[in-house]
Structure 1
Amino acid sequence: MGKLSLASSSTEFLPRRPNFGTQGTKTVLWANYFKLNVKALDIYKYSLNVIYGGAATAGSAKQEEEDPKGKKVEKGGKGEAKEAKGKKLGSIIELAMKQFPATPTYASEFKAQVITLGKLKFSNPDGTVEVKYTEAGRSRAETWTVKFNGPESVHVDRLLDYFGTMHDLAGDATFPKFPTEVDAIGIVLGHTPRTDKDAVTIGRGRHFALDEARSEAAPMNSFTVSILRGYFQSVRPATGRLLLNVHVTHAVFRQPIRLDELLGRWGDLKKFYSKTFTNLQPHTKQLENMCDKLHKFLKKSRVRHTVPATRTRPAVTIETPIAGLAHIKDACDKKGGPTETSPKFRFQFPYSGPENVKFFLRRPDSEPATATGLGNLRYDTWVTVNDYWIQKYGVRPNLDLPLVNVGTVNRPMYIPAEQCSVLPGQLVKSKLTPGEQEDMIRFACRFPADNAQSIVTKGRALLALDGNKLLAKFGITVDKELLTVTARELPPPLLNYLRRKSTAISRPEIKDGGWLLRNEQVSQSGRPIAAWSYIHIQAAQHDNAEEVKRAVYSFVEFMESSMGVRIAKQGSPGKICSSKDALPAVFKSLPANTQFVIVVLPDKQSATYNLVKQLGDVTYGIMTVCVQRDMVTKQQGQQGYFANVALKVNLKFGGINQRLTNENELIKGGKTMVVGYDVTHPTNLAAGGGGNAPSMVGLVSSIDSDLAQWPALAWANPPKQEMAESLESKFQSRLELWRSQQKNKGQLPENIIIFRDGVSEGQFNKVLEVELPRLRKACMNLYKASAQPRIALIVSVKRHQTRFFPTDPAHATHRSKSPKEGTVVDRGVTSVRYWDFFLQAHVSLQGTARPAHYTVLLDEIFRPRYGDRAADALEKLTHDMCYLYGRATKAVSICPPAYYADLVCTRARAHQSELYDDASTVKSGGLEQVKARHVHQKLENTMYYI
């Protein structure tokens, strides 16, 4: 081991590719890429600041506008920051570009940048453009100032020169290369679909058609959401050329629907709701729960509503986000109490309708001081919303539906629900129901050939890649044919189990990336399970408890006799649990020496599963495994289900399920530790959840050469933060754990291979500059300065948009028609300069297989050890490890250290699921609840998470 400087980590750069891989059977695949042809024109980039107010008074000017009730409302003003977002921001930028004498040739993402062909000519020397913007339904225009910062030259010529040589400029250690140029070309390519009035763009590169002629939607039973198929595009540099990555993508959108129709279909809401609430009392809690869910679903939705005509003004249609349903806490003080101006609800029920909510009717400033009222209503008195709409607009609201707040929580504005319609094209970011998830999977799973055909037809049309005048002006054309790449198919490794009831080695036959356990049992049983029990959560009173008991004991018998798991045949008496809410008491009643509990779940409800894991992993320190009642009791296929669950149990108690027959040369000496770590951020949350939920970190590491046991650590970071200083101490604890193992004889590993999961290319420098020094510091705390370990740091990414399609049916899987398992691609869509590769280790059961993408950020192991064979050595090790994922009898899509780290993060979220399901449980800026949710000390350094 050589001496390495900690300070050097900040200047280390991505290692050069040692060579291309050579192992495996060669084949040719299509990739979902088109070649881009770009001319070196004079292109410039301007960054934008959009400021409320005129150029001289931006940020301090006060302006007035009139709301639909005729009241003038003061917006902005000194000390108040007003920000334009979404479509409004885009409209302001578009108006700014039209202020130039001759509208320039430009492209924009309509947020922060404008790419122009040639320099802009400004009337104002400070590069500002003043825009008058009028929102729909407002009578007065707002003044906004758009500040153009720049220009910054977009050096397309240098980019093209780089592709000709693939040599870095002297002293240039940036990655990715030419980000400004690549980003600018991407903005130009995305401009046309982004400005398509019948399409919607999500993020930087996901485009969806909304019109009936072009949209592709999934058939669903849901009346609240719809699933659309769209197309993703991204500009990607490769060896000697620039490519456009295009792939099908799917997203869930709010279903455009009238709110009165939605309310009438929302859980039978309408049958419980009436203007007098005479039939409300028996159903108050049920109704409140329905309204709560509906309120969270509608919150921040954009709706279209019409303010009816009056004698002095025509009808106005307004598109605006809403605050949800009218709520009794609207316009209350910070303590939740009503103020003098808070709306008055007739009943102490959170939601109410037009006849049961009053607001204080003031005389509008537009009326003379002598005006006394509105029809039969007197000014400066409390009036109901129902009476106001009758007198003001001659409209009688539907009294059987709750009101909708089209204002804000602090400044509510209530209108009848039947006046509103949910607008199309609104992305749903909340967690889907199980039924919606199944609909999404069915719709998204398509044969590779179908996706390829969609890309070259509907995808190209939506993205406007052909006959696009804007692209032509910027000197960009897109080849029509998908790219072909050379690939290789790696053979599967040989695996070792034990033959049942013997000590002989058994090797199952691997076919199509998987194998069956017929006469095999685990390679090594874990710690004996002497004290166990089971909990049967009943779906209904008639649920057959004896049938479940028989199934549980059959499972235990199978684990002991067929799988070789050391578990006592007799457990303590099982517990019957009537509901999820009774689980804490049931766990508390278990014998104190209980090591293991089998929990029989009635369904797939995640809330029940999360509570089981909170109680077992955190509160009591008891290993748990959850099984579904229907799966554990049915006869057909039961043995396969039992075997898969038994594999989990053995891992939880320290066992080894399978080993490699031909151990990897780098691993078998017992001097190499493999590590995986990941950070997951609070996304895809339940409606209303995760307001300030933390990011969760998962860290796993091998403890010996078997690569079977991966004990874990999990901890919380502040929201959206990748890695905190605690990485040093956590990683050091993994080194100490390695040293404590009897097999390792008190020695620390000489080699450390780290798989960092889930970071983008733009974050590579942060991994090297922030995370790597902390890993090295942990090593320096334990190793001698002259004997630091060699480190290889590899980023593994599964969430990317690269896909491969077979050109030869002989090199496709039978079921999904995707490339065969073991397929490696390290050229064609990669860079010769950097060391990365795509590996599809698994067989896709349905849909188009997604390969994992691996990029080497640091290599002190493979190239020094293997020279020109380093690529083959890393690819083989990564591929072989995909067959060592302990809870499955098949190769998995990403190597186990990264896979396990992701599972640890998922389990950590389950341990504090309320933080992600309900924003009200998270204190602003604090992680008090998270700090209390450590895994119980009995389960530390185990695979409790599997």
Structure 2
Amino acid sequence: MKEETGLESQLASCFSSSCKSLVFPSRPDYGKLGTKCVVKANYFLADISVSDLSHYHVDITPEVISSKTRKAIIAKLVKFHQNTELGKKLPVYDGAENLYTAGSLPFTHKEFNILLIEDDEGFGTTRERKFEVAIKFLAHVSMHQLHELLSGKKVETPQEAINAIDIVLKELASHSYVSFGSLHYSPDLKKPHKLSGGLESWSGFYQSIRPTQMGLSLNVDMASTAFIEPLPVIDIAAQILGKDVHSKPLSDADRIKIKKALKGVKVEVTYRGSFRRKYRITGLTSQPTRELSFPLGEKMNMISVIDYFQEMYGYKIMYPHLPCLQVGSQKKVNYLPMEACKIVGGQRYTKGLSEKQITSMLKVSCQRPRERENDILQTIHQNDYDCNPYAKEFGISIGNELASVEARVLPAPWLKYHETGRDKKILPQVGQWNMTNKKVVNGSKVRYWACINFSRSVKEKTASAFCQQLVQTCQSLGMEFSEEPVIPVYSARPDMVKKALKYVHSFSLNKLEGKELELVVAILPDNNGSLYGDLKKICETDLGLISQCCLTKYVFKINRQYLSNVALKINVKMGGRNTVLLDAISCRIPLVSDVPTIIFGADVSHPESGEDVCPSIAAVVASQDWPEVTKYAGLVCAQPPREEIIKDLFKCWNDPRRGIVYGGMIRELLLSFQKATGKKPCRILFYRDGVSEGQFYQVLLYELDAIRKACASLEPGYQPPVTFVVVQKRHHTRLFSDNHNDRNSMDRSGNILPGTVVDTKICHPTEFDFYLCSHAGVQGTSKPAHYHVIWDDNKFSADEIQSLTNNLCYTYARCTRSVSLVPPAYYAHLAAYRARFYMEPDVHENAKSQVTGSKVESVRPLPALKEKVKKVMFYC
């Protein structure tokens, strides 16, 4: 049982009292550094003329879970009662419990009886259902506080008013588009693009209302997602399998593949002419149609599916070798021939896409800045918000021009390389540089290494030549790298990765007389499946090796840049450093160089949609080399699925023998920093990735408390000042050049220049946030990162946090480019992604037994990383 020490009690009391009036920091000032410029942002000025809204609670009996059905009930209620009981008001409804009107309804509480006719998707029939709808007044939603916030006054964000306006705007779009929350799609926006496997991409747009410095604004961006093609099921099955299904029976593997892709998909029957009943697929029969029969009539006489369709509908089944679709419930299953069913249009595909489908989707969604800007403007024009009846009802008007925003382009930092290179320092140009004439600032030592070739198409001679070139590249960059591997290149089958690794490891151990192998260079086949994950898990958790994987396609076309990037990765994996900021060496970085400072990055990786029984993975990294802040140690842990707060930041428990024991990721990384630098951190900067705005308070309260407790556990009274910055990439803000013909205002891809920062107009009216595009565009439209300072004991100025963040983006270890996300957050993301490979093979099967209802009873811990792996940047 956990006990609380006096130290903990004192700290907890102090922290909880300070958080009763927790308010996010106000913007201290506006940034001034950099070259001034003007950019356009995908924000449109919005105005709402009503002074207040009325909020009502909706209760539907009997209980309805489906949001779609609930909305259909309210839509029918409005249709029949708008001009009478509703006093000619046109309400909006969120599909749950909330209904809003402009002004008040003629009652405070009223009940309605609604008769809804709906499809029974299990059995292809329609049914009448009676519902009682109770509408009860809750409160007036005043716009006054929203207007105060928009005028720059420090008030609590009126989230209910913003949510109500957002619901109105969703209602505007839902009648013309297929909507999913804030995303709206239509095949009419652009012609759907065919993907493989029976899928097609639809174009759409995202919209959300946001309070900004320039006023209430509508953020609009383009979007694409996969829909299932409205084709005959037999054609979809052929596309899923990538082969003709009309002549040969399906294997069990084929059947399972089709079942996985189509389960839950709605189909309509085609064997009854214009009478098109709809069903939802629950499965696929294990037998072909010709072997299926079922009991019929009062006497329950068995009849074959083939005879039933012939006698009942005069329909002759053409492909009896194919299985039937199963629809209905487990108690009463209906069989439908695949050939007699067609996919109902407008169904979004929610399962994972294949690599081929992802590639096709990226080709469609990857728009150049000018094209994306034009599509956004065209969407605004097509939606014609001002003429919509809901917009008129609620007095909403939307501007039709992109916001023009003052921005600044921050200068790139000078980077320091080793003194023995011809180029000892470099100033990146447009976010890029190269390793020509340079040597890494700290080269690592690789004395004992081996190479395993898992690719059958790569000959031993080719693999050996590749290894020689890699060694030469590493040496030319300043690493101490042994010329020859411990044993000759070892070839192994891709399905024998564990056996091959253990053999090479033990053979090397014997040859080295106890000294351990340090690095494995693995050559992978093009289609490596789970080999990569197996390799990482075995090397990093079982054997304590660092591994560097090389894909076959590169082996045949080796170029200097590829070898250089591999060498840079090996260097940091083995404990070296590629480059450092010149200002860090010169101790000129504000609020970092003056006292020992540790920079953390943290992220949580959640399972894919539909995999909610699998754990989430949390990762935390921390700098270990003050004052350079370039080298990061990382830790990972598993936690309950969809849990955003990192539970293992700080732990305290009572051990019967040792008494109170402290642990956790923050404490371990603080101790690691102290061991590496000889100093305890005097300042903490914490970059937290992946937190949505609705989770800011919850995450800050728990994680800041954990940081402080971890510090106090090292020494009573030890409380270094903390700055907590949330980093967001999953947003829809896009910045465009003000003049697409001015090449000096863009990079080669047509995107805004790296270093472009915005902290005015489209940012929060009072809080401390900014958008930073720290990278050069490669393809598509660059997405700036959004940084939001939600706690700041260190009192950063805007210029200090913006320039520090931008400069850190040039220290990313895997390439010679500035990156789009501040490296500690980027590294945490990579570490969390990497840790998914460490999960035991049967974790998915066993996960279901760990879940009771919505409560997760236990989460299997990840295999522990070997100590020497923890100390280096293994996740790079």
- The normalised TM-score by structure 1 is 0.83
Aligned to 1:906: 833
1:143 is matched with which residue: 130, 146, 161?
A: 130
**Contact kept? 1:92, 1:133, Cα under 8 Å:** no
Q: 1:268 to 1:471 in 2, by over 3 A?
A: closer
Residues 623-638 of structure 1 aligned to structure 2 (within 5 Å) = 623-635=546-558, 638=559
Instruction: Tell me the residue number matched to 1:943.
Output: 873
Partner Cα separation in structure 1 for residue 27 and residue 691 of structure 2: 20
8 A contact 1:619–1:936 mirrored in 2: yes
Structure 1: where are the runs of 5+ without partners? 53-58, 60-82, 275-279, 310-314, 327-350, 364-378, 864-869
Secondary structure of residue in 2 paired with 1:498 = coil
Partners of 1:236 and 1:393 lie apart in 2 by 56
**Match of 2:824?**
897
Give the Cα–Cα distance (whole angstroms) in 2 for the partners of residues 39 and 721 of structure 1. Answer: 40
7-16 or 239-248, which moves further after superposition? Answer: 7-16
**CA drift at 1:812:** 3.0
Equivalent residue number for residue 725 of structure 2: 794
Q: Deviations over 1:8-50 (max 9, x none)?
A: 2453310111100000000011110100011134422234343
Structure 1 residue 872 corresponds to structure 2 residue 856: no
For 1:452, give the aligned amino acid.
E
Q: Deviations over 1:199-242 (max 9, x none)?
A: 2112x21111124xx33433x45251112221110001012510
Deviates more, 1:451-460 or 1:513-522: 451-460
Q: Counterpart in 2 of 1:923?
A: 849
The alignment partner of 1:167 has SS state of coil
**Contact in 2 for aligned 1:532/1:571 (Cα 8 Å):** yes
Name the amino acid aligned to 1:301: V
User: Are residue 731 (structure 1) and residue 666 (structure 2) matched?
Assistant: yes
How many Å separate the matches in 1 of 2:98 and 2:331? 33
For residue 495 of structure 1, the aligned residue among 399, 404, 415 is 415
Residue identity opposite 1:842 in structure 2: H
Q: 1:106 aligns with which of 84, 87, 91?
A: 91
Amino acid at match of 1:417: M
| Aligned: 1:163 with 2:150 | yes
Matched, 1:768 2:694: no
Contact 1:821 1:840 in 2 (8 A): yes
Q: Does 1:217 align with 2:226?
A: no
Residue 602 (structure 1) aligned to one of 510, 516, 525: 525
Q: Which residue of 1 aligns with 2:263?
A: 299
Partner secondary structure for residue 151 of structure 1: strand
**1:461-497 alpha-carbon deviations (Å, 9 max, x no partner):** 1x44242232022111111111101000000000011
Q: Which amino acid aligns with 2:803?
A: K
The percent identity for this pair of structures is 27
Give the match for residue 263 of structure 1: 237
Residue of structure 1 equivalent to 2:184: 207
Task: Indicate the residue corresponding to 2:439 in structure 1.
Answer: 521
**In structure 2, do the counterparts of structure 1 residues 210 and 93 end up closer, same or farther at CA, with 3 Å as the change threshold?**
farther
935 and 144 in structure 1: CA distance in 2 versus 1, 3 angstrom threshold: farther
* CA displacement, residues 725-762 of structure 1 (integer Å, 9 cap, x when unaligned): 42212111111111111xx22x3101000001111111
Match of 2:491 among 576, 584, 587: 576
Match of residue 680 from structure 1 = 605
Task: Output the CA distance in 1 between the equivalents of 2:159 and 2:325.
Answer: 45
* CA RMSD, Structure 1 to Structure 2 (Å): 2.5
Structure 2 CA distance for partners of 1:550 and 1:670, relative to 1, 3 Å: farther
Mapped to 2, the partners of 1:610 and 1:485 lie a distance apart of 45
Distance 1:358 1:828, change over 3 A: same
Report the Cα distance in structure 1 between the residues aligned to 2:43 and 2:363, rounded to whole angstroms. 25
Q: Quick one: distance in 2 between partners of 1:111 and 1:252? A: 26
Q: In the alignment, which of 707, 716, 721 is matched to residue 629 of structure 2?
A: 707
5 Å-filtered alignment, 1:192-203, equals 192-196=172-176, 199-202=177-180
CA shift in 2, pair 1:307/1:778, >3 Å: farther
- 1:255-275 Cα shifts (integer Å, max 9, x gaps): 22110222244436655965x
SS of 2:531's partner is helix
- For the 8 Å contact 2:115–2:128, the answer to whether it is kept is no
- The secondary structure found in structure 1 opposite 2:241 is coil
Partner of 1:371: none
Q: Does 1:585 align with 2:499?
A: yes
Tell me whether 1:132 sits opposite 2:116 in the alignment: yes
Answer whether contact 1:230 1:248 (CA < 8 A) is retained.
yes
What residue identity is the alignment partner of 1:106? P
Q: Output the CA distance in 1 between the equivalents of 2:23 and 2:560.
A: 51
User: What is the 5 A alignment of 1:710-859?
Assistant: 710-728=632-650, 729-741=664-676, 744-745=677-678, 747-785=679-717, 787-808=718-739, 809-859=742-792
User: What's the counterpart of residue 656 of structure 2?
Assistant: none
Equivalent residues, number: 823
Equivalent-residue separation in structure 1 for 2:440 and 2:643 (angstroms): 40
Q: Do the aligned residues in 2 keep the contact of 1:862 with 1:874 (CA within 8 Å)?
A: no
Distance 2:186 2:482 in 1: 57
Aligned to 1:70: none
Q: Aligned partners of 1:820, 1:445: CA distance in 2, in Å?
A: 18
Q: Per-residue deviation at 1:140?
A: 3.5
Task: Name the CA distance, whole Å, in 1 between partners of 2:867 and 2:671.
Answer: 17
CA shift at 1:764, angstroms?
Answer: 0.9
Q: State the shift of 1:710 in Å.
A: 0.9
Q: Which residue in 1 is equivalent to 2:5?
A: none
Give the C-alpha shift of residue 791 in structure 1.
0.4
Within 5 Å, which residues of 2 pair with 1:602-681? 602-603=525-526, 605-635=528-558, 638-663=559-584, 664-669=589-594, 671-681=596-606
Instruction: Tell me, in whole angstroms, the C-alpha distance in 2 between the residues paired with 1:842 and 1:268.
Output: 39
Secondary structure at the counterpart of residue 35 of structure 1: strand
CA shift for structure 1 position 629: 1.6
Q: Which of 8-17 and 105-114 deviates more?
A: 105-114
**SS of equivalent to 2:333:** coil
The answer to whether the aligner puts 1:511 opposite 2:422 as a matched pair is no
CA distance in 2, matches of 1:34, 1:562: 50
Closer, same or farther in 2 for the Cα pair 1:47/1:941, shift >3 Å?
farther
Aligned-partner residue type, residue 353 of structure 1: P
How far did residue 906 of structure 1 move? 0.6
Q: 2:266, 2:279 within 8 Å by CA — same for their partners in 1?
A: yes
Task: Indicate the SS of the match to 1:707.
Answer: coil
What secondary structure, in the 3-state scheme, does the structure 1 residue paired with 2:295 have? strand
Instruction: Give, in angstroms, the shift of residue 318 of structure 1.
Output: 2.6
Quick one: distance in 1 between partners of 2:330 and 2:446?
Answer: 55
Q: Which one-letter code corresponds to 1:186 in the other structure?
A: D
Q: Deviations over 1:634-671 (max 9, x none)?
A: 24xx1110110111111111111101112224323451
Aligned twin of 2:276: 317
Equivalent-residue separation in structure 1 for 2:32 and 2:300 (angstroms):
85
Which among 171, 174, 183 is matched to residue 163 of structure 2?
183
1:798-827 deviations in Å (ceiling 9; x for gaps) = 111001111132453342211111001000
What is residue 530 of structure 1 aligned with on the other side? 447
Q: Find the aligned partners of 1:834 and 1:430 in 2 and give their Cα distance.
A: 38
* 2:371 matched residue in structure 1: 450
1:724–1:665 CA distance, 2 compared to 1 (3 A): closer
TM-score using structure 2 length:
0.89
| CA spacing shift, 1:885–1:719, aligned 2, 3 Å | same
**One-letter amino acid of the structure 1 residue matched with residue 333 of structure 2:** P
Q: Which deviations, in whole Å up to 9, do the C-alpha atoms of 1:665-714 show, x marking residues without a partner?
A: 43234510000101121125xxxx62511111010000122222111111
In structure 1, distance between residues paired with 2:846 and 2:226: 25
Residue 55 of structure 1 corresponds to: none
Distance 1:801 1:217, change over 3 A: same
CA contact (8 A) 2:214 2:761 kept: no
SS in 2 for 1:720: coil
- Determine the C-alpha separation between the residues in 2 that align with 1:576 and 1:401: 43
Correspondence for 2:21: 11
Find the residue that maps to 1:646 and give its secondary structure: helix
The reply to whether residue 354 of structure 1 matches residue 354 of structure 2 is: no
Deviation track 1:260-300 (CA, whole Å, cap 9, x = no partner) reads 222244436655965xxxxx6xxx8xx22222111100011
SS across alignment from 2:834 = helix
**Cα distance change, pair 624–714 in 1 and its aligned pair in 2 (3 A):** same
Query: Can you list the C-alpha shifts for 1:490-523, whole angstroms capped at 9, x where unaligned?
Result: 0000001125xx3777113411101011011211
Q: Confirm or deny: 8 A CA contact 1:488 1:825 kept in the other structure.
A: yes
For the residue of structure 2 that corresponds to 1:472, the secondary structure is helix
Residue identity matched to 1:795? V
